[in-house]
Amino acid sequence: MFKKAIVRTPGKSMVNGISTAGIGIPDHQLALRQHASYIEALKACGLEVTVLPADEAFPDSTFVEDVALLTKECAIITNPGADSRRGETAAMKKILQNFYTNIEEVHEPGRVEAGDIMMVGEHFYIGLSERTNQQGAAQIIGFLQKYGMSGSVVTLEEVLHLKTGIAYLEKNNLLACGEFLAKPEFQKFNILEIDNNESYAANCIWVNGTVIMPQGYPKARKTIANAGYPIIEVDVSEYKKLDGGISCLSLRF
């Protein structure tokens, strides 16, 4: 169960965020309203939400998930693969000192964005992507082992981050799309398949029994509902324009 979440309000500079989506420039005012709904969804799942102010110096800083990995035992500050995002970690480290006594940090040449890390109980799957390298993954695994947890690497080719294409929904259920459907390491899970034409909905979060998912993906919604989960849909269209999804917008712990 999660008790808390951290989010960061998107700044006006989000219009300069990294994007490959090719579906337009985000509307800041609409993004703010969507962010407020996202916070309400987290609260409805019982979380106490810390809302950090916008940081205009970092256009992608609303995607807080990438700059830290939070576990039961420790917080690990990452070292983002995107150079423009590396400076986001300093502020997050300060914030996390209010919540954690054990804080570790990924250092060069290791690069990690925690959108590439999926938690399944005490084990963490780490995607090797354009943002997360082998050295970074090895450092993460070392920190996890120090605190009695474990990690393993997963290769990925098609998506930005590991969790762009999969989401663990607890109870052995794994939401998966595209290249992840056939990965040998995931065959032990009950795979809930997301259609390629709704691939954006493979990025959902399980929060204390409820699944928070993006609005507008009826087939995915049906799949998740059929698996027995209550669902909260949130419109995150403005974040999709920056390649970001539901999980990227919060740290949950």
Judged by CB under 6 A, the residue of 242, 246, 251, 252 near ligand CIR is 242
Residue 243 as a binder of ligand CIR (CB under 6 A): the answer is: yes
With binding defined as CB under 6 A, does residue 18 bind ligand CIR?
yes
Size of the residue set binding ligand CIR (CB under 6 A) = 18
Give whichever of 146 and 241 is closer to ligand CIR, judged by the CB atom: 241
The verdict on 88 binding ligand CIR (CB under 6 A) reads no
Buried b (16+ CB within 10 A) or exposed e, 118-139: bbeeeebbbbbbebbbebbbeb
Do 61 and 249 touch, CB atoms closer than 8 A? no
Report which DSSP code applies to 216: S
Residues shown for the chain: 253
57 burial level (CB within 10 Å; 0-12, 13-18, 19+): exposed
Give residues with Cβ within 8 angstroms of 215, minimum separation 6: 233, 234, 235, 236
Per CB under 6 A, does 160 bind ligand CIR?
yes
Q: Do residues 71 and 126 lie in contact, with contact meaning Cβ atoms separated by under 8 Å?
A: no
Active-site residue set: 161, 248
Dist CA 8 CA 238 (whole Å): 15
Does 55 bind ligand CIR (CB under 6 A)? Our answer is no
State the minimum distance, in angstroms, from the CB of residue 244 to ligand CIR.
4
Which of these segments, 16-24, 30-38, 46-54, 220-228, binds ligand CIR (CB under 6 A)? 16-24
63 sits near ligand CIR (criterion: CB under 6 A)? yes
Based on the shown chain and the rule CB under 6 A, indicate whether residue 100 belongs to the binding site for ligand CIR: no
Catalog residues that contact ligand CIR under the rule CB under 6 A.
17-19, 60, 63, 65-66, 82, 85, 115, 160-161, 164, 242-245, 248
